Amino acid sequence: MDVDLRNVRPYGDTMGDGAVQMSFTLPIPQGSVAREAARQLVLSMGFTDAQVVHDEDIGEGFTFFVVYGKTAASVDSTKIIPTEPEFEVWEREECNRRIQEYFGRPLVVVGACIGEDAHTVGIDAIMNMKGYHGHYGLERYSMIEAHNLGAQIPPEELLERARELGADAILVSQVVTQRDSHVLNLTRMIELVEAAGIRDRVVMVAGGPRIDNALAQELGYDVGFGKESYAEHVASFIIQELHRRMDDGRWTP
């Protein structure tokens, strides 16, 4: 297969055809005007060959469309800097062994879903004994002392508990993203940690289905984990980050 990595386009059935499938709703009643409006809208997005393959009245004067179009746009994939965190993923036993070897004591990890957000599903998946999808949670790691505070924890309380427990890492989960509440909460948390003067002592980890590493780093976290992340990813990153800080003389166990 001959792919031009400097000019990558969507693929339908022919290299470079730029085929895109999309669906959306317009707030106008179904009919020929609506169909033409959908077509013109897609053309104005820069697509060519816009084909409205389906339109349907979905009530209250709204119309739903399925449209195909072709785009001439392309990306140079060779210029993209990866946003995924770079670290090696170790299995649970390997994590335990490395903690013993590097630090000689268990690591303390404190986590919560902060603010009004009532979803424990993310933090539970990473921290609870049972874990998620067959990946055991941090509570099952013999060299990690895991404290899951649950959901709806004010950032102030998470900080206070982390200090009491002598946390080496703080996990901050956010599931709800409506009105950017996750950004506000994550920012508030990092500001508190910095104001308390303990930023160098703890690894700050953000997580949630709509969180990615780039956003987390932009907000001042060490790393962000989105979907398809499990306890071993989080544990491996924390160990490697602390080990790095230890080597630089910025952190002692």
Catalytic residues: 130
Quote the least distance from Cβ 72 to other proteins, whole Å.
26
Give CA–CA dist 132/126, Å, rounded. 7
Give CA–CA dist 15/247, Å, rounded. 48
Q: Which stretch binds other proteins (CB under 8 A): 5-13, 32-40, 75-83, 126-134?
A: 126-134
Question: Which tokens hold the place of 102?
Answer: 């590097």
Question: Exactly one of 10, 12, 150, 154 binds other proteins (CB under 8 A); which one?
Answer: 150
Give CA–CA dist 195/127, Å, rounded. 26
* CB contact set of 33 (below 8 Å; sequence gap of 6+): none
Residues 75-114 that bind other proteins (CB under 8 A): none
Residues 59-78 that bind other proteins (CB under 8 A): 59-60, 62, 64
Residues 158-197 that bind other proteins (CB under 8 A): 176-179, 181
Quote the least distance from Cβ 223 to other proteins, whole Å.
21
In the block, residue with structure tokens 């820069």: 46
Give CA–CA dist 11/74, Å, rounded. 11
Asked if 232 interacts with other proteins (CB under 8 A), we say no
> Which of 222, 204, 226 lies closest to 111 in space, CA to CA?
204
Where does this chain bind other proteins (CB under 8 A)?
23-25, 56, 58-60, 62, 64, 116-118, 120-121, 124, 128-130, 133, 150, 152, 176-179, 181, 209, 227
